A and B are shown apart, each in its own frame.
Chain A
Amino acid sequence: MDNIIGIDLGTTNSEVAVIQNGRPVIIPVDGDKILPSVVGREPSTGQLLVGKPARNQYIVHPRHTVRSIKRRMGQREKVFIGNEPYSPEEISAMILRRLKSAAEAYLQAEVKRAVITVPAYFNDLQRRATQQAGEIAGLEVVRILNEPTAAALAHGLTRQEDQICLVYDLGGGTFDVSVVERAGGILEVLASHGNTALGGDDFDQIVLRKLVEEFRQAHGIDLAQDLRALARMTFAAERVKIALSDAPFAQASEEFIVTKDALPLNLIREVSRQELENWIGPLVESTRESLERALADAKISREKIQKVLLVGGSTHMPLVWHVIEETLGQIPHAEVDPALAVALGAAVQAGIIAGEAVDMILVDVAAHSLGIEVLHLWEGLYLPNAFSRIIPRNTAIPARKSEVYVTSYDFQDAANIKIYQGEHEIATENTLLGEFRFEGLTRAPTGQVQILVSFDYDASGMLHVKAQERGTGSTRELTVKTLGTGRDGTEKREAGVHDTAAGQRRVHSAAAASPPLQAPETSRPVAASSQSSPVLARARAVLEREVGENRKKLGEAVVRLEQAMASGSSEVAAREQTVLDILYEID
């Protein structure tokens, strides 16, 4: 069979994929899934280097090494490797040739045709240059495919008619967002916006600078001047950033990082997700504008977006999910590994052209959000039974995520941990999966005791919940079965609690006596879902701007309404009327 390969020809990294047994798979290049998009020549031997070796020599031989050629595609100026001039197409062809030969080795067959992806904003010249690069590499380019379109294909958008989706791509060095529409069997990019100089590398640099600056203030030593220390710190900064995508705290721990007055110094610094988000917040927030402009350019309202798809490694960050949810009012999808989605989608397109049957490639995701009931301090008011999400819907599983909570009143020594599944901001509106009582907490004033709640969600739909008091080793665990895990949306009605500790079920009856934990003040409330009342939504908006007596009056009425709604009480209508009356007065 004549294979057609799919290629993501990236600025920093490139990948190649192919359809095998009806599914797209990434083809390894030298044992790695990604090939750095760097080429060069060893000056002494003249030997061509592509990928990691080329990247490795950049600092020593910058004039013999070419990086980020993608930014030059479509330009006439030659690029030099030593004294030899090359066109950007020729440089890109070297990368493509490497991918082609990796594919041939993998498939044990000659490969002659390829689908290659380009950013949606590439103009005609840039597209033609990419096509030419393919031809120089000995590949017939059967399609130049837009990257967001490829991502949509990887997410199975060939299946449904009349879909509009939004692709949010935040990688290592570039950001863009595109609106993709499928109509009449054709996928089309309606609008695209972005920032070609924003990505995960910037976040790493910010973390690095903060750690270095703190160390300088504490010890009077600039780690940036010490190559050995800097190399370790650079690595640690990215590692901490990545760990904070799944946990509220992460530690940068580097022993003997430098020597001062003949004594070794350690760098041991715990970074909280909150801190990271404060540091990189403005950069991530800046993507909001691109989202809005893409919608405006596509002339569609956010309600028209059926799905938000994630591309790029940096979209693992909860802050990104939050910005998307707040701006677009929906939780994004990550069924396909965001770092590989474009290459996989290119392979899907290749398979379609070759007339192969292409199967679903989606991995299992959490069909509903999972979290616990908490007390939420909101706008100076306490909201009881608020839902605090720990694993958002659409997260690829298996997943392991954790969040931190605090005690909700002075000297609280036990807490009730109720595990819910659903999307409603009021916990009791969701499905209760199980609960347990966490006793023996350290007695201290409100908010001083921190409890880490970890959710470990496995592929069989079992959720392992662990609560752990920070600073003491005290833990409590429970395993529950969730309802419906698959992407097919079939609800598996096998509710039931499976306790790890025998006899724990008996504890449950007593559990109701303990209050829940409190979300820390810095945490974000779950965005209002569409199920909540429009009156409530309006009241919240008004509450934002009101002060003094009005605020107090309205606030109290809102809390009473929420309570009524939460308990499904017959009071809802009456209390909604009260809120309306107050709104009418002041709004």
Chain B
Amino acid sequence: MEKLGKGLYRLAVSQESLSQELQDILRHSGVASPNHLHEARRRLAEDFLPLIDSLHRLAQALAQQGNGALAEGAGVIAAKGDAYLAALGVEVIPSTGRRFDPRLHQALQVRPAPPEMEGCVVEEIVRGYRMGEKVLRTAQVVVAKGG
């Protein structure tokens, strides 16, 4: 539990510094061109990604512990993070079960699977994100190959 507490504290601290950054950007946005604003939003989103990853891992770890209410709560926080990213215009790149697409996915490993899965993503290791056409982070995945 202490570990969890520390983890949450760290998250809170990083959240605080990011909000500060957001405020700075907003303060300066009066003079920024739409392009700069878009760029600032993208950078903000990129900085936020590791934090969102951590939130999801927290929720998952609690769920594995069978820690019902806490896991649920953490899940809610993680979902809020996702919603925040969505508001910035960030989309999750779908991977598991899709055809492997090197423009969106980076293969870390291949794994034998039934023939009908050949060339498809069988596991997502790191979630990918995009903002319009721009891939912020490719999804890192395991791809089915050879059965």
CB proximity of A9 to chain B, nearest CB, Å: 22
A231 CB contacts on chain B under 8 angstroms: 108, 125-126, 140
* Residues 326-360 (chain A) with a chain B CB within 8 angstroms: none
Q: A60-B143, A228-B125, A264-B64 are in contact. Are A255 and B7 (CB under 8 A)?
A: yes
Q: Do B3 and A266 touch (CB < 8 A)?
A: yes
Q: Do A57 and B108 touch (CB < 8 A)?
A: no
Q: Is B107 on the interface with A (CB-CB < 8 A)?
A: yes
* Residues 78-131 (chain B) with a chain A CB within 8 angstroms: 100, 102-103, 105-110, 119, 125-126
Q: Is B43 on the interface with A (CB-CB < 8 A)?
A: no
Contact for A60 among B57, B100, B103, CB less than 8 A: B100
A59 CB contacts on chain B under 8 angstroms: 107-110, 143
Q: Do A227 and B107 touch (CB < 8 A)?
A: no
Q: A227-B109, A227-B142 are in contact. Are A255 and B100 (CB under 8 A)?
A: no
Contact for B58 among A53, A227, A256, CB less than 8 A: A256
Q: Do B64 and A49 touch (CB < 8 A)?
A: no
Please give me the residue from chain A that is nearest to B103 by CB atom: A53
Contact for A56 among B10, B61, B107, B109, CB less than 8 A: B107
Q: Is B54 on the interface with A (CB-CB < 8 A)?
A: yes
A264 CB contacts on chain B under 8 angstroms: 3, 61, 64-65
A60 CB contacts on chain B under 8 angstroms: 100, 107, 110, 119, 143, 145
Q: Do B125 and A53 touch (CB < 8 A)?
A: no
Q: A59-B108, A60-B145 are in contact. Are A262 and B140 (CB under 8 A)?
A: no
CB proximity of A357 to chain B, nearest CB, Å: 29
Q: Do B61 and A256 touch (CB < 8 A)?
A: yes
Chain A binding surface SS class = mixed
CB proximity of A381 to chain B, nearest CB, Å: 44
Q: Is B27 on the interface with A (CB-CB < 8 A)?
A: no
Q: Do B140 and A57 touch (CB < 8 A)?
A: no
Q: Is A301 on the interface with B (CB-CB < 8 A)?
A: no
Q: Is A413 on the interface with B (CB-CB < 8 A)?
A: no
**How many angstroms between the C-alpha atoms of A227 and B110 in the bound complex?**
11
Q: Do A44 and B119 touch (CB < 8 A)?
A: yes
Q: Is B134 on the interface with A (CB-CB < 8 A)?
A: yes
**How many angstroms between the C-alpha atoms of A256 and B6 in the bound complex?**
12
**How many angstroms between the C-alpha atoms of A42 and B104 in the bound complex?**
13
A247-263 vs B, CB cutoff 8 Å, 1 = contact: the mask equals 00000010110010011
Q: Do B138 and A58 touch (CB < 8 A)?
A: no
Other A-B pairs, 17, CB within 8 Å; known A60-B143, A231-B126: A42-B102, A44-B119, A52-B138, A53-B103, A56-B102, A56-B106, A56-B138, A57-B107, A58-B107, A59-B108, A59-B110, A59-B143, A60-B110, A231-B140, A232-B126, A253-B10, A262-B64
A-B contact pairs, 26 of them (CB 8 A): A31-B134, A40-B102, A52-B138, A53-B102, A55-B106, A56-B102, A56-B105, A56-B107, A59-B108, A60-B107, A60-B110, A60-B119, A227-B108, A227-B109, A228-B125, A231-B108, A231-B140, A232-B126, A253-B10, A255-B54, A255-B57, A256-B58, A256-B61, A259-B61, A259-B64, A263-B65
Residues of B in contact with A (beta carbons under 8 Å apart):
3, 7, 10, 54, 57-58, 60-61, 64-65, 100, 102-103, 105-110, 119, 125-126, 134, 138, 140, 142-143, 145
Residues of A in contact with B (beta carbons under 8 Å apart):
31, 40, 42, 44, 49, 52-60, 227-228, 231-232, 253, 255-256, 259, 262-264, 266
